[in-house]
Amino acid sequence: MNGIQPPTIEYGQLSPLLLVFGAAIVGVLIEALAPRYLRKSLQMPVTLLGLVGAFALVLTVVMQGVPTKAAAEGAIAVDGPALFIWGVILVLAVISVLLINDDNEFVASAAAVPGTPEEEDAIAAGGAHTEIYPLALFAIGGMMLFASANDLLIMFVALEVMSLPLYLLCGLARRRRLLSQEASVKYFLLGAFSSAFFLYGMALVYGFAGTVSLAGISDALGAVGGQNTLLLIGAGMLGVGLLFKIGAAPFQAWKPDVYQGAPTPITALMASGTLVAAFGAVLRVFWVALGNLDWDWRPVMWGVAILTMVAGAVLAITQTDIKRMLAYSSIAHAGFLLTGVIATGAEAQNALSLKGILFYLVAYGITTVGAFAVVTMVRDAGGEAGHLSRWAGLGKRSPALAGVFAFFLLAFAGIPLTSGFFGKYAVFAAAVAGGAVPLVIVGVVSSAVAAFFYVRVIVLMFFSEPAPDGPTIAVPSVGTAGVVAIAAAATVVLGIYPEPVLRLAEDAASTLFIR
C-alpha cells in the first residue's frame, strides 16, 4: 500500500508566508509562557523581526528569479504581482505595527463593560492585551495568502485568516468603547455574511467547473462561453464576497462605521493592508479564473465602479468625523482602482492596467497609514478628537502637523508632485488605453468632488480661528513620529521621482498572473 505521493511544496517560495505565520505562533507562545511585564518587550521585536525577515525573504525569492509555476501543487501562485503585493503588504504592516505599538490606543481589558469598576481596575493594574501583536501577524499572513491564492479554497481560508483577527482587533479601542464594540460586531456580522456569499459562489462555480483551481475554472470556461446559470450565479456571488472586502458600493456600508470605531492603528492596517490584499484577490479571480467571462462581468463592474466612485466622493462631503471622512475617501479610491480592474484586453493592456493598480496601491497605502497616524495625535480629553469642528485652526496651533496632514490630503486628492497624482494617472491612463473612457470621465469628476472635501479640511485647519478649548497635540512616541515621517517622505518621493517604483511595478506586472 503505497499509492499516495507526497505533494511537492516549494518551501523556498512560500518562506515569507511561513515566517509571518511562524512569528505569530511564537507570539502566542510568548503570551502563554512569558510573565506579564515581559510580554510587550518580547512581542514587539518578534513581530518586527518576523515582518522584516519576511520582506528580506521576498527579496531573496525575487533575486532567485520570479517563479513561473504555481507553488504547492498549484494552490498558491508566487508570481510577479504576488511578490510585489507581498512586499507592499509587509512594508505597510511594519509601519502599522509601529503605530500599534503606541501604548495609548488599546483597551486594558476588553471583557470589562465600559465605565464599570472592572474596567477601572484593569486600567489601574496596567493591564494590556499584548495579544494584538500575534493577532495582527495572523491578519497580515492572511492578507499575503489572500493575494496569492491560486485556488478558491485557499482563497477562502486566507479570507478567514485575514478577517477573524481583524474583527477582534476592531473591538479593542481604549476609548469610546461602545463605538468600538459596535464596529467589531458590525464588521463581524457583515463580514461573515459576505464570506457566506463567497463560499456559496465558490460551491456553484465548483459545480460548474468541477474544480476550485483558478486555472481549471478558466479552462472550463472555454467550453461554454459564459452561458451557464451555475457559473453566472457563482461568479456573481464570488464578486459580492470580494467587493465587500474592498468596500465597493453597494457593499460599502460597513466601512465608515468600522473605520470610525476601530482603534486608529488597526484602521490604518485595515485601510491599507486589507485593501491591497483584497485587490490582489479581485484581480486573480476576475482576470485569471473569469478572464474569459469578461463580456458578462464587465458591464456589472462598470456599474459598481461608477457607483463606488460617486458614492464615496459624494457621501464624504456630508461627513463630520475625520475617520468617517477618510473611510468614504477610501471607498472612492477603491472605485478608482476598479477602473483599472475593468481595463483588460490584450496582454500588453493587462500589464499596463496591472502596473497602474500596483503603483496606486503602494501610493495610497502608505499615505493612508500616515494620515491615520496623524489622526492618533490630535487628542481631546476623551481620546482622539474625531469631530471635524475640533480640527479648526489646527494649522495655527501646530503648523507642522497640520501641514503634513494637509499634504496627505492633497495626495489623496491626486495633486501633482504627490504620489497620489502618479497613482491616479497610471490607473486612468491604463483605463483610457483599455477603452473605458466614460469611466475615466466619471473618475476625474469624482476626483474633483473629492478634492473639494479634502481642501475643505485644509481650509478649516489653516483659515479658521482655533477653538479656545481645542484639542491638544499629543507628543508622539518615536514609533508614531517615525510612521508620519516615513509616510510623508514616501508620498514626496513617489510624487517627485516615481520612476523606480513604477519600473518595479512594471516588472512585476510584465509577467502577469501565472496560471
Partner 1 sequence: MELYVPILVLAVLAAGFAIFSLTIAPFTGPKRWNRAKLDAYECGIEPTPQPVGGGRFPLKYMITAMLFIVFDIEIIFLYPWAVAFDALGVFGLIEMLLFIVTVLVAYAYVWRRKGLDWD
- Output 25 or 49, the one with its CB closest to partner 1: 25
* Cα–Cα distance for residue pair 100/105, rounded to 1 Å: 8
Burial class (CB in 10 A: 0-12, 13-18, 19+), 439: buried
- Output 171 or 471, the one with its CB closest to partner 1: 171
Under a CB-based contact definition with an 8 Å cutoff, are residues 246 and 275 in contact? yes
Residue 427: CB minimum distance to partner 1, A: 40
Q: Which residue in the block uniquely carries the three cell numbers 494637509?
A: 406
Residue 33: CB minimum distance to partner 1, A: 6
Residue 118: CB minimum distance to partner 1, A: 7
**Residue 2 binding partner 1, by CB under 8 A:** yes
Q: Which stretch binds partner 1 (CB under 8 A): 3-11, 71-79, 140-148, 299-307?
A: 3-11
Under a CB-based contact definition with an 8 Å cutoff, are residues 105 and 264 in contact? yes
Q: Find the DSSP H helices in 270-398.
A: 275-283, 294-317, 322-342, 347-377, 394-397
Count of residues touching partner 1 (by CB under 8 A): 18
Residue 25: CB minimum distance to partner 1, A: 5
**Residue 4 binding partner 1, by CB under 8 A:** yes
Residues from 97 through 116 that contact partner 1 (CB under 8 A): 111-113, 115-116
Q: Which stretch binds partner 1 (CB under 8 A): 2-10, 284-292, 462-470, 472-480?
A: 2-10
Residue 309: CB minimum distance to partner 1, A: 41
Q: Which residue in the block uniquely carries the three cell numbers 478558466?
A: 218
Under a CB-based contact definition with an 8 Å cutoff, are residues 13 and 61 in contact? yes
- Output 121 or 347, the one with its CB closest to partner 1: 121
**Binding pattern for the stretch 271-310 against partner 1, x by CB under 8 A and - elsewhere:** ----------------------------------------
Residues from 17 through 46 that contact partner 1 (CB under 8 A): 25, 28-29, 31-33
* Cα–Cα distance for residue pair 100/4, rounded to 1 Å: 46
Residue 261: CB minimum distance to partner 1, A: 18
DSSP letter at 378? Answer: E
Under a CB-based contact definition with an 8 Å cutoff, are residues 49 and 22 in contact? no
* Cα–Cα distance for residue pair 23/5, rounded to 1 Å: 30
**Residue 126 binding partner 1, by CB under 8 A:** no
* Cα–Cα distance for residue pair 358/211, rounded to 1 Å: 29
Rounded (5°) CA angle 248-423-510: 95
Residue 57: CB minimum distance to partner 1, A: 19
* Cα–Cα distance for residue pair 400/397, rounded to 1 Å: 9
Contacts to partner 1 by CB under 8 A: 1-4, 6-7, 25, 28-29, 31-33, 111-113, 115-116, 118
